[in-house]
Amino acid sequence: MKISAESMDPVLARMASEWFARLSDPSATEDDHRDWLQWRNASPAHEHAWQQVENVVRRFHQLDRSAAKGALSRPAIPARRQALRSLAAIGVMIGSGWLAYRQLPWDVWSANYQSATGELREVTLADGTQLILNTATAVNVVFDTKMRRVELVRGELHIATASDPHSRPLVVRTPFANLLPVGTRFSVRQEQEWVRLTVHEGAVDVEPLNGYGPPMRRIAAGSSVQITREGLAEPKASPANAEAWTQGMLLADGMALGDVVNELNRHRVGRLVCDPAVAELKLSGAFPLRNTDAALSAVARALPVRIVTMTGLWARVEPL
């Protein structure tokens, strides 16, 4: 089922906005988050309404630095009031024709499977292949008589392949290479300038799309490789905790704080940044990706830093 921007129900838009306000409140509980996910999963229309709210939020993050500094100079506002002010702006944008939703790239919002920011979504395909979509991920799946094709449109994907009774090859398409798994379990993360393949079990053949380097290279289990327009880098040993995100966890072992913050930011609605003065501090521990506020509280207990909330959607990790 595909829902056009023009057919969005204003009632669902208001419901999604109310969920946004509820989850922006620091008093939001695990039950609130569970109920929110149940509401989103109840129908495709609910999911699209929520993604519209997220899209509007992302537009707020494009404000220039002067606007952010202005916000810093004002007295603190209770979180729920901040959320409601944001919702007023969302209402204006919804009333003006779902502008933000229409600006989401077609290949993202029309994808067969999507996950929202902060969500892990599990999908079992018709052949038994299992997918786990990490935060803000979009995937297309096409099975025909000759091939099984999975296209990673954006984000990060974990795949556990299944044997096909029709012996059709499985191909995972990315912007820079086709990935051909050999009875395997692997992850693929796509950013604007690179794709990273991590093989957990079996092997994956990498076929670059730009003609650089060898036409095919096999990456074995326990290895990770970065792929760009120029071809493949040298494979490296993958970290032991490479699959932790599939369980909703970030496992850090002497990880730079700036890198931890960047990972948490991927799973957080809003903008989270790290002051360069503390970005190189080393951090070890297990942090929940589905509750980034709890993760940030743990960071503040482990290191001499504090979490400064600038608005309901902006937060910064800085020195004490």
CATH of the domain at 307: 3.55.50.30
Per DSSP, the three-state class of 298 is helix
169 shares its domain with 94: no
Place of tokens 């040993």: 237
CB burial readout 142-168, b (16+ within 10 A) else e: ebeeeebbbbbbbbbbbbbbbebeeee
228 shares its domain with 152: yes
* Residues in CB range of 290: below 8 A, 6 or more apart: 33, 118, 120, 248, 267
Segment 222-259, tens digit of pLDDT: 999 999 988 899 999 998 889 999 999 999 999 999 99
* Residues in CB range of 173: below 8 A, 6 or more apart: 149, 150, 151, 152, 179
Q: Phi/psi of residue 124, each to 5°? A: -110, 120
Neighbours of 78 (CB within 10 A): 11
Residue 243 domain-assigned (yes or no): no
> How far is 282 from 289, CA to CA, in rounded Å?
19
223 shares its domain with 127: yes
Residue 163 domain-assigned (yes or no): yes
> How far is 132 from 115, CA to CA, in rounded Å?
10
231 shares its domain with 151: yes
> How far is 254 from 157, CA to CA, in rounded Å?
25
Q: Which domain holds residue 141?
A: 109-237
179 shares its domain with 254: no
71 shares its domain with 141: no
> How far is 78 from 52, CA to CA, in rounded Å?
24
128 shares its domain with 231: yes
Cβ–Cβ under 8 Å, residues 53 and 83: no
Given a cut of 90, is residue 196 above it in pLDDT? yes
310 shares its domain with 285: yes
Instruction: Tell me which of 54, 87, 104 is where a domain ends.
Output: 104
> How far is 296 from 285, CA to CA, in rounded Å?
12
Domain count, the chain: 3
99 shares its domain with 127: no
Percent of the chain whose predicted confidence (pLDDT) is above 70: 74
Segment 87-144, tens digit of pLDDT: 544 544 444 333 334 445 556 667 889 998 899 999 999 999 999 999 999 999 999 9
97 shares its domain with 181: no
Which amino acid appears at position 6 of this protein? E
